[in-house]
Every structure is written in structure tokens, then in C-alpha cells.
Amino acid sequence: MTGTLPRYLLRRLGTAVAVLWAAYTVSFVVLYLLPGDPVTTMASGGLDGEPLTPEQIEALKARYGFDKPLIVQYGTRLWAALHGDLGASIQNGQEVRSAILEALPPTVQIALGGLLVAVVLGGGLAIAATYTSQRWLRQLLMALPSLAVSLPVFWVGLMLVQIFAFGLRWLPSVGASGFPALVLPSITLGLPMGALLAQVLAKSLTTVLDEPYVQTARAKGAGRAAIHLRHALQNAAIPALTVLGYVAGNLLAGTVVVETVFTRPGLGRLTVQAVGVQDIPLVQGIVLFASLVFVGVNLLVDLIYPVLDPRIAEGVPATS
């Protein structure tokens, strides 16, 4: 046992680093190889104002290093990225890293809010749906998640604003000030993720509740709620945790739409704006940051697995 856990961690860490490097490469290929180079794209009318002269374009290219061969650019940029330097934004020359860090706090707020909504709603729904003995109620509850994943996220946000901000006047419609402004964006962000979580958790709870050890617990006289919450939930949580990692890793992507709908400042808005002016270094920085978060969250999930099920660290495949 002593040797297996560090080796498990090391293997996971190695995978994480490899994925990050590859994500860098993919975003480099997509952004730098496809349309020529960013300066030409920008100078040819990406922004307002008069078109640049060829000399100016050459000077700009030299400044950002776009005049070098691609493989050299790739090498120098990757080397810089390894040291935490993601280059400078093309629109205003601001460091990409500081631009991202500046935009982060309001986004983290709604991301955490969304995660909370997803866990509470998704977990609660799955537990309620598997606990109830009313057939119609179970079917109703289980129909909700597939309804929720079919709704366009931006539309749900707008309808929530319509009802709770303009109709009932309970909550503010836009802005980022204080707790009330967090409620609607968090619900909008958390709803589809909670639906996904509910589907997986309900399915694995149903499977687990059929297992012999649950029957044993029942035979020994344990209460229904106790079996459900204490015995079954822990084992059923493993597939749900995988989904939760996936969901949390995708939270940043969700904020792109949500922050636009609610006109909040943050990383999502920064992304929309960067794409709008084809600010390639900034877009690449954001993509990299998002995959860093994705990889980090999944690493965290990998670390929690052995706590829930010690067999995983020993290389026994997880039962799902």
C-alpha cells in the first residue's frame, strides 16, 4: 500500500502536465497557424481606424515576434509560458497574465455560486428521485434533468431576469454589486450542470441500492434514510464525482455566456471581447488558463477517489 499511493499521484501529475503542454500546442496551432498571423489580421480591418502601412505592420510583427519562423515562435513562446509569461494583449499591450488575473475575482464568485447550485440541486434531485416510493413523482423528478439540458443557457438567464428582476422585482437584473446580483447568474450557470450531476448520481444510486450489502444493511434493520444517505451515497458518489470534476472544469466556459447575459465583468466577458477584436495572445492565454483549471480540478478529483475507495490507488479499476 505504501508504494502505490505516491506512484498513483505521480502518474496523475505526469498526465496533467502532458495535457497542459498539448493544450498549449493545440491552441497555438489553431490560433497561429490558421490565418497567417495576428498582426496582419488585425491591421486588415479587425479594429477601427485607418489601415496600417506595410512598414508599420512589419514593425509590429517584429515587436511581437511574428516575423520569425513558426517553429521558433512556438519554442520561444512555450519557454516564456513555462515561466508564467503569456505575452501581451494586442489591443492595449497589457500583460495577458495580469489581464486574466484582474478579470478573475467576479468570475470566481459566480463559478462557486454555480457549483453550489449544481451540487445542491443535482444532488438533492437525485436523492429525492431515488428515495421516493411514488412512481409518478420519481418519473417527474427524473424528467427534469433532461428538460434542463435541452434549454439554451442564455435563454434561461434572460427568462430568469424577466421573471425575478422585471416581473417580481426581487433581484437586480445586471451588474456585479453584492450578493443579490450573484443569485440569478449562479442559478443560470448551475442549472445545466446540476442536471448532468442529477442524471449520473440517480443512475449510480439506483445501481448501488440493488447491491447485496444494501440488502444486508436492510436485513440488519437499518432505517431507509440511513441506508440511502450513509451506505449507498458514499459508493454512488464516485461516478458523480467524475462528472463534478468535468462540470467544475467547464465552469469558466459557462461564464462566457452567463456574464454576457447579466452584463457582469469577468473572465467570460474578457473572452468575448478578446474574440471580438481577434486578440490572439489573450484568447490563447484564456484557453490555456481554462485547461489549467480543468486539469487542476480533475487532479483534485483524482486525489479524492482513493479517499472514497482505497482500491483505486492500488490499481484496481473503479466500479462504476
Partner 1 sequence: MTELLIREGPPDSSGTAPGSSVALPTPPTRRERLHRVLRFLGHRPGLVVASLVVLLVLVAAFAPGVLAPGDPNIGVVAEKLRPPSAAHLFGTDYLGRDVYTRVVHGASLSLQATVIAVAVALLVGGLLGLLAGFVGRWVDEALMRVVDVLLSIPAILLSLALITALGYGTVKVAIAVGVASVASFARVMRAETMRIRRSTYVEAARSVGTRWYVTLWRHVLPNAAGPVLVLAVLEFGLAILAVSSLSFLGYGAPPPAPEWGSLIAEGRNYLATSWWLCAMPGLTIAATVLSVNRISRALDGEWSGAR
For partner 1, the binding residues (CB under 8 A) are 18-19, 22-23, 25-27, 30-31, 34-35, 138-139, 142-143, 145-147, 149-155, 158-159, 161-162, 166, 196, 199-200, 202-203, 243, 246, 249-250, 252-254, 256-257, 260-261, 271-272, 274-276, 278-280, 283-284, 286-287, 290-291, 294-295
The CB-side HSE value for 283 (13 A sphere, CA atoms) comes to 18
Alpha-carbon dihedral sign for residues 220, 226, 230, 233: positive
- Taking the least distance from each CB to partner 1, the nearer of 57 and 240 is 240
Closest distance of CB 57 from partner 1, Å? 18
DSSP string, the chain: -TTHHHHHHHHHHHHHHHHHHHHHHHHHIIIIITTS-HHHHIIIIISSSPPPPHHHHHHHHHHHTTTS-HHHHHHHHHHHHHTT---B-TTT--BHHHHHHHHHHHHHHHHHHHHHHHHHHHHHHHHHHHH---HHHHHHHHHHHHHHTTS-HHHHHHHHIIIIIIIS--S-SS---TTHHHHHHHHHHHHHHHHHHHHHHHHHHHHHHTSHHHHHHHHTT--HHHIIIIIIHHHHHHHHHHHHHHHHHTHHHHHHHHHHHTT--SHHHHHHHHHHTT-HHHHHHHHHHHHHHHHHHHHHHHHHHHHH-GGGGGTPPPP-
- Taking the least distance from each CB to partner 1, the nearer of 78 and 226 is 78
- Taking the least distance from each CB to partner 1, the nearer of 60 and 261 is 261
> What are the Cα distances from residue 24, in Å, to 76, 136, 142?
13, 49, 39
- Taking the least distance from each CB to partner 1, the nearer of 4 and 206 is 206
- Taking the least distance from each CB to partner 1, the nearer of 26 and 101 is 26
Closest distance of CB 272 from partner 1, Å? 6
Closest distance of CB 7 from partner 1, Å? 21
Q: Three cell numbers at 288?
A: 490555456
Q: Judge contact between 202 and 125, C-beta under 8 A.
A: yes
- Taking the least distance from each CB to partner 1, the nearer of 36 and 105 is 36
Closest distance of CB 320 from partner 1, Å? 12
- Taking the least distance from each CB to partner 1, the nearer of 232 and 247 is 247
- Taking the least distance from each CB to partner 1, the nearer of 107 and 271 is 271
Closest distance of CB 227 from partner 1, Å? 20
C-alpha to C-alpha distance for 178 and 130, rounded to whole angstroms: 37
Closest distance of CB 276 from partner 1, Å? 8
Closest distance of CB 8 from partner 1, Å? 18
- Taking the least distance from each CB to partner 1, the nearer of 18 and 300 is 18
Closest distance of CB 273 from partner 1, Å? 11
Closest distance of CB 93 from partner 1, Å? 18
